[in-house]
């Protein structure tokens, strides 16, 4: 567990956000699923290769965060899985209940944070550069 994971866990707990840390096998499985089903260009999702992709703006805009939360709420069918690509070692399963504040917390991390559900019918991302993107996969 990295220092940033420890700080993230403190932030989630301070906001009374319930979460689970995925087991190593679950974490590896979801990353493999993402890599097998999502087109990448370098270290970033190739959003232009996804027919339904939309850039929702840049964080820390509250409006952009609300738009991303709205898109996620339309399609989420279970707990959300937050997976980072560098700064955090862990993957997190979090209820949609406190989505907006959860997005804000993850947006402060220096990494690309991917948000999916286990069914991987959609993907969202808070990029290291601050872009908020979303796409339906199926």
pLDDT value at 59 more than 70: no
- The predicted model gives 5-15 an average pLDDT of 98
Nearest in space to 83 (alpha carbons), one of 48, 10, 34, 25? 34
d(CA 99, CA 120): 18
Domain range summary for the chain, segments of one domain joined by +: 3-136
pTM recorded for the entire structure: 0.95
State the helix-helix crossing angle for 99-107 and 3-14, rounded to 10 degrees: 150
- Cα radius of gyration (the chain): 14
In this prediction, residue 57 carries a pLDDT of 86
Tell whether the torsion through CA atoms of 38, 40, 44 and 45 is positive or negative: negative
In this prediction, residue 61 carries a pLDDT of 79
Cα distances (Å, whole numbers) of residue 3 to 12, 18, 109, 110, 136: 14, 20, 11, 12, 33
Lowest mean pLDDT among 55-64, 76-85, 92-101, 128-137: 55-64
Mean pLDDT of the chain: 94
């Amino acid at each position: 567990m990295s220092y940033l994971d420890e700080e993230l866990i403190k932030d989630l707990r301070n906001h009374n956000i319930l979460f689970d840390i995925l087991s190593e096998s679950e974490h590896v499985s979801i990353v493999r699923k993402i890599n097998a089903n999502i087109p990448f260009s370098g270290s970033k999702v190739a959003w232009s290769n996804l027919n339904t992709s939309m850039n929702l703006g840049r964080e820390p805009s509250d409006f952009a965060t609300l738009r991303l939360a709205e898109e996620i709420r339309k399609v989420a069918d279970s707990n959300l899985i937050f997976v980072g690509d560098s700064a955090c070692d862990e993957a997190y399963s979090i209820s949609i209940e406190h989505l907006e504040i959860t997005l804000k917390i993850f947006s402060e991390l220096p990494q690309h944070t991917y948000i999916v559900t286990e069914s991987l019918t959609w993907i969202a991302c808070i990029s290291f550069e601050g872009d908020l993107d979303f796409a339906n996969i199926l």
